[in-house]
Amino acid sequence: MSSSDAVLAMENVSKKFRRGEIYDSLRDLIPALVKGVGKRRAADALGAKEFWALDDVSFEVRRGEAFGIVGSNGAGKSTILKLLSGIMRPTRGSITVRGKLSALIEVGAGFHPDLTGRENIFLNGAILGMSREEIRRKFDEIVDFGGLRDFIDTPVKRYSSGMYARLGFSVAAHVEPDLLIVDEVLSVGDYLFQQKCIDRMTSILKSGTTVLFVSHNLHAVTELCQRSLLLEKGRLLACGPTDEVIRQYIGRAQDQRSGETTRIEIRDVALRNAAGESAKFEPSEKMYVDVAIAARQACADVSIVLQIVDDNFYPIFDTCTARLNSGNSAALGTGEQLECTFELDMHLGAGTYHVNVYAHEYTVDRPFATWRSAASFFVGETRLVKGRANLYPRMPRCQLVTAPTHGATPNEGQTRLASPLVAPRG
Amino acid sequence: MNPNVPISALARPAEAVVGAGGVSRAPLPAVTRLTGSMADWLREIVARRDLLILLAWREIKVKYKQSVMGFLWAILMPALIVSAGVVVKFAFATVAGKPLDNNDVVSVAVRSVPWAFFVASIRFASTSLVSNANLVTKIYMPRVLFPIASVLSQLLDLAVATVVLALFLIVTGAHLHVQMLWLPLLLVILVLLVTGLAIFLSAAALFFRDVKYIVEVVITFAIFFTPVFYEVSMLGKWARFLLLNPVAPLLEGISAAVLGRPMPLVGWVAYSAVASVVIFVGSLFFFRRFEPYFAEAV
């Protein structure tokens, strides 16, 4: 499966970890050694406290490609990065890495608090694989990038945590590797600095560097990476075009359901569009959400709250049955089921969203049952808009205004568009 | 990531992707980390010598930062050991009823300085991996650079102390001898031995914290089993047991070379040299063998 332009390949890689304490002192080791004599386990057998952090993972990344890794916490993303960067060795399988690899995993690791910013730039640069000559050449660029010129001769222990992280990112961003691993590090610093980081990343990408991008921000992965892989509990579930991988990921997104002991239970939440598609929606189409709740005991004043959150779980929309039903909540008898369908217009920008459902006791504002991430969906890309909301822009006028010259009428040079760029909805 | 940042800024232009596959570029070399041969391993260490120097420089810098005496400590520490040795010597001489010989003082001084280097190197180097745990678990680099850098930083102290000692000897009327040509060789053997032990102990301390305490105890009492404040000839037929300690023949040799006496115990020095090479090479193999487990063991 290995092709010639693969700069990175993992073949049947597995990594075993151990839960609990390992022998940390001789007192623990000696009895263990005595017990272990003659009982050498095969490499692929699991001991009592062992588990596979990665289980038979194979993939390859081509040169110049941006490749994403997605998965929930504990799926094995960091383990893959540590194996690739050579910090750990796989229990089984082989890894091929071609070219200089650099990892933006922990910015500022290796800073010494007693050393000044200047001294730490040289030290950290060398740790990340730059030669002293290279650091000297890029020194001014690094300092200006972090915006820390006034504090460059101050020990970093006097830095604020933001300054510390900025210095760390500045150094790391100036290593010129053939293969760059980025692990959730773009969230450093204030808004302006983040913009700077993103510009820097763009130029690194344009220079043809291969990038391995690990993020919980699915939107970022979709934008950045052509291909991705999905991990779950150490196993590779999917590897291919990012859109498909992410669709599979959100399809499997772990539900957080509670309310098993309350009077009301949320039975079912399902999304669909007019054609029956359940995960991907196009801007301007309608989404139907079917919710079913059941009462274990009789309840008055029940309403269903529907909330939509973005990929960072920030609420962007909510509604509820009582509000839609002019303030009237429902009353359920024991064993009765309430089914309702919400009809929503997809005025959202491209990205991933999750649906939370709450069964509420409306009078006391207390939830009976909650189901977070009951369903997830994503809204497809359009060329025309970016961002959370889709305001369906049109452009009725696009006028080139030249300097007023003698005899020219203001209307001259105006371009009338033959048709609106986006058809008005309706 | 901040949701406000327009991620679209990150989107790659399509031509960059096409260009990457279409333009033929020189193939990149395969990188072998943790999997290559011993030669690959050594080659990478040599390639990262800039980092080695910066790590050593960091230790020196950090050691003397925020201390009032600063760099004077490099002189003061061996001076204190020399003074202690002179006191011990004086006590010996008083008990034996002999006057304190000038050569005795010189002998103690030239033994104390390399001994101080030995002790400090082992002490700092054996914890060098544990105290850099955040780097060991987060960033890849040849980890053997840490103990080597510790030894390297102590070498600077040794150099400073040696210069001060030389001035002291000149003031007390010492002369240059042909025998002093032995000194570079003896020092190289000592550095090799220290580096070997440092590499072994740093890796062992990562797996077992006990090593740190064992090292503390051993180097505290080692001064009794090493001819620093006395000479092996004082022990008569028991001398050979003392000389099994590979540091002993080296200190004896250094003392003899400075005092211009003919090199005693050439056979024992050869033994030290062989032991040092064996320890050094053995430590490298040991370190390389267990390096893949460092990140999990810390």
> How much is the ipTM here?
0.80
Output the pLDDT for position A275. Answer: 85
pLDDT of residue A1 exceeding 50? no
What superfamily in CATH does domain A6-249 come from?
P-loop containing nucleotide triphosphate hydrolases (3.40.50.300)
Residue A248, pLDDT above cutoff 70: yes
Q: What is the mean pLDDT of chain A?
A: 80
Mean pLDDT score, B53-65: 87
Q: What is the pLDDT of residue A296?
A: 86
Chain-chain contact of B7 with A219 (C-beta, under 8 angstroms): yes
Mean pLDDT, rounded, for B210-217: 91
Q: Which residue from A64, A115, A199 is facing B17, i.e. has the nearest CB?
A: A64
User: Is pLDDT above 50 for B4?
Assistant: no
Residues of A in contact with B209 (CB under 8 A): 24-25
Question: In the predicted model, what is the mean pLDDT of residues A85-96?
Answer: 87
* B1/A215 touch (CB, cutoff 8 Å), yes or no: yes
Longest CA pairwise span in chain A (Å): 103
Which of A18, A87, A385 is the best mutation test for B, with the most CBs of B within 10 A?
A87
* Interface size between A and B, measured as CB pairs under 8 A: 170
Q: Could you tell me the pLDDT band of residue A34, with boundaries at 50, 70 and 90?
A: low
Q: Tally Cβ neighbours within 10 Å of residue B87.
A: 12
Of the two residues B150 and A38, the one the predictor is more confident about is B150
Task: Specify the pLDDT at position A257.
Answer: 67
At B216, is the secondary structure helix, strand, or coil? helix
Is B1–A187 a contact, with Cβ atoms under 8 angstroms apart? yes
Of B3, B5, B136, the CB nearest to A195: B5
Task: Please state the rounded mean pLDDT for residues A227-246.
Answer: 89
Residues whose CB falls within 8 Å of the CB of residue B22, separated by 6 or more in sequence, listed in order: none
pLDDT tops 90 at residue B295: no
Domain chopping of chain A, boundaries: 6-249, 256-379
How far apart are the C-alpha atoms of A377 and A278, rounded to whole Å?
A: 7
d(CA A287, CA A6): 41
Distance to chain A for B66, nearest Cα, Å = 9
Per DSSP, the residues of A388-406 read SB------S-EEPPPPP-T
For A35, A257, B224, B260, the CA distances from A1, given in Å and listed in that order, are 43, 41, 64, 70
Chain A positions touching B35 (Cβ under 8 A) are 89, 94-95
> Which pLDDT band, with edges at 50, 70 and 90, does B266 fall under?
confident
B113 or A364, which is more confident? B113
What is the arithmetic mean of pLDDT over B90-113? 82
| CA-derived radius of gyration, chain A | 28
- Closest partner CB to B66 (pick from A7, A114, A215): A114
Q: Are A64 and B19 inside 8 Å of each other by CB?
A: yes
Residue A63's pLDDT band (boundaries 50, 70, 90)? confident
Q: Right CATH number for A256-379 from 1.25.40.10, 2.70.50.60, 3.20.20.450, 3.30.470.30?
A: 2.70.50.60
CA of A277 vs chain B CAs: smallest distance (Å) = 26
A29: how many CB neighbours lie within 10 A of its CB?
16
* pLDDT value of residue A333: 87
C-alpha count within 13 angstroms, C-beta hemisphere, residue B18: 3
Give B70→chain A minimum CA distance, Å: 14
CA distance B203 to chain A (A): 13
Q: What is the per-residue pLDDT for A256?
A: 59
More confident residue, B264 or B112: B112
pLDDT at A177: 85
When pLDDT is cut at 50, 70 and 90, the band that residue A30 belongs to is low
Percent of chain A with pLDDT over 90: 14
